[in-house]
Amino acid sequence: MKKSIFFAFLIFAITIGWLASGQLGKVNAQDDEKSTDSNISIDTNENQENFDNANVIKIETRTLLAEQIDQSIMIQGQTIYNKKVDVKSETTGNIININFVRGNKISKGHNLLNISLENRKEILASVQKDIDRLKKELIINEKNRDNLLSKNSELIKLYEIEYLSAKQLIDKGLSSKSKLSLASFNLANANSDQIDINLKYETKLASLESQISSYISELKKINLDIENTTISAPFDGIITEKYIEISDYVTPGNILLTIVNLNPIKIQGYLSEFDINKVRKNTKAIIENSNGIRKEGKITFISPSAETSTRTFEITIEAENSDLTYKSGITTSIIIEGSELQAHKISPSILTLRDDGSVGVKALSKKNIVLFYPIQKVKDTVDGMWVSGLPNEVNLIISGQEYVTIGQSIELE
């Protein structure tokens, strides 16, 4: 009896313990679940905060003031001669006299050399005699014509009298018609002879005048050929090359010497597409050679088309060089005069392209509204570029401009 009660009590205690353990596990499970839910809630808040931070637009601005800059253009150039001529022979003959040496400075008209005359003087005299002879023939021809015309005019008068007399006699019945016919015939022949005389002598006159013109043309050629035996300097310059010596035989086209003119000196340079529209003919320029010698000149030529390979435009500057301190073929610095301009120095990285294709920068107004300013490039430097088109004082967006739109209001921290 006692053993049965003991076992019954033991079974009851085990049952109560089992039930109690199940209830305790449920409570722990709920506590774990609450703990897990709390952690999730905390993580979600952290993600939301990170998301909000990620959508914050961060920009950086800088206030710039306009500066006065010089728009002068600096390029490199090379000097070239003003004129260069290869003096050539225009006749044949032997060199009989040379009045220069290589390197001489000579003036326009200076006698440089002489070529032998050969028989040119004799030919000239012969042609002149032929011209004089033909002119005499021309005078004689005119006199003969005048004499014949005068005699024929007298015959015409005589035949006119005979014709009138014969006609009067016929009218009175005192003469025959044959006499009238003869008088009429003689008068007609005399008038015809008058025409023939004029025609004959006009033809001879034309022939004589043609021969005279031909001889005069030949005379001019001989005189020119004689002049060509004396070679004179075509302009002031320096003899740079000599190709002949005494007794050399030359023919038309042979190069005798080379003359170079260095005053004014010309300087050749090239401008970029960006700078070409900033200059005009007669724009002033300062040139300086490697020895530090400065001269003032002006632009005399601007090429209308660009070099195919470099896309640059050739310009030519002329400067006074009577002292000949500038030689041909030396490198020079060129400063082309330009006006002063208000501009801002910016980094090319902040440039923005609008939908209409215009290039500019974004800035903030005083009310922090995003604005767009189209700009024009003035010149490039190693650490930026100078532009115009901005207000005197401007608050430029220098970072983050790609994330803001024109007209957007920005809240600054």
**d(C-alpha 118, C-alpha 228), whole Å:** 13
Which distant-in-sequence residues (6+ apart) come within 8 Å of 256 by Cβ?
87, 88, 89, 112, 113, 231, 243, 244, 250
| Reported pTM | 0.57
Q: Cβ(354)–Cβ(94) under 8 Å?
A: no
Q: 319-346: buried (b, 16+ CB within 10 Å) or exposed (e) per residue?
A: bebeeeebebeeebbbbbbbeebebbeb
Q: Give the pLDDT score at 381.
A: 81
Q: Which residue from 266, 264, 413, 391 is spatially nearest to 332, judged by alpha carbons?
A: 266
Q: Give the pLDDT score at 162.
A: 74
Q: Give the pLDDT score at 171.
A: 67
In this structure, the number of other CB atoms found within 10 A of the CB of residue 175 comes to 15
Q: Give the pLDDT score at 29.
A: 39
Q: Cβ(367)–Cβ(27) under 8 Å?
A: no
User: Could you say which architecture CATH assigns to the domain 83-116+229-260?
Assistant: Beta Barrel (2.40)
**d(C-alpha 106, C-alpha 259), whole Å:** 9
Q: Give the pLDDT score at 6.
A: 54
Burial (CB < 10 A; 0-12, 13-18, 19+), residue 126, is middle
Q: Which residue from 386, 297, 338, 328 is spatially nearest to 81, judged by alpha carbons?
A: 328
**d(C-alpha 411, C-alpha 396), whole Å:** 15
In this structure, the number of other CB atoms found within 10 A of the CB of residue 185 comes to 12
Q: Give the pLDDT score at 175.
A: 62
- For the chain, what are the domain ranges? 1-56, 60-70+341-403, 83-116+229-260, 120-227, 262-337
| Residuewise pLDDT in 10s, the chain (413 residues) | 445 555 555 565 666 655 555 444 443 434 444 333 333 233 434 444 443 444 557 788 899 998 888 778 889 999 999 999 999 999 999 999 999 999 999 999 999 999 999 899 999 999 999 999 988 888 888 888 888 877 877 777 777 777 777 777 776 666 666 776 777 777 787 778 778 777 888 888 888 888 999 999 999 999 999 999 999 999 999 999 999 999 999 999 999 999 999 999 999 999 998 888 888 999 999 999 988 899 999 999 999 999 989 899 999 999 999 999 999 999 999 999 876 778 899 999 899 988 888 899 999 999 899 999 999 888 778 888 889 889 999 999 988 888 888 988 887 66
User: Could you say which architecture CATH assigns to the domain 262-337?
Assistant: Beta Barrel (2.40)
User: Could you say which architecture CATH assigns to the domain 60-70+341-403?
Assistant: Beta Barrel (2.40)
Q: Which residue from 227, 234, 231, 233 is spatially nearest to 244, judged by alpha carbons?
A: 231
Q: What are the phi and psi torsion angles at 99 (to 5°)? A: -115, 30
**d(C-alpha 38, C-alpha 44), whole Å:** 10
Q: Give the containing element (helix H, strand E) for 122.
A: helix 120-172
- Fold classified for 120-227: Helix Hairpins (1.10.287)
Per-residue tokens: 11:
């079974």
Q: Give the pLDDT score at 129.
A: 93
In this structure, the number of other CB atoms found within 10 A of the CB of residue 371 comes to 16
Query: Tokens 């920009």, residue?
Result: 59
**d(C-alpha 153, C-alpha 148), whole Å:** 8
Q: Give the pLDDT score at 35.
A: 34
**d(C-alpha 394, C-alpha 344), whole Å:** 9
Which distant-in-sequence residues (6+ apart) come within 8 Å of 181 by Cβ?
none
**In this structure, what DSSP letter does residue 101 have?**
-
SS3 call for 221:
helix
Q: Give the pLDDT score at 95.
A: 96
Q: Give the pLDDT score at 187.
A: 76
Q: Give the pLDDT score at 34.
A: 38
At 341, which amino acid appears?
Answer: L
**d(C-alpha 159, C-alpha 194), whole Å:** 13
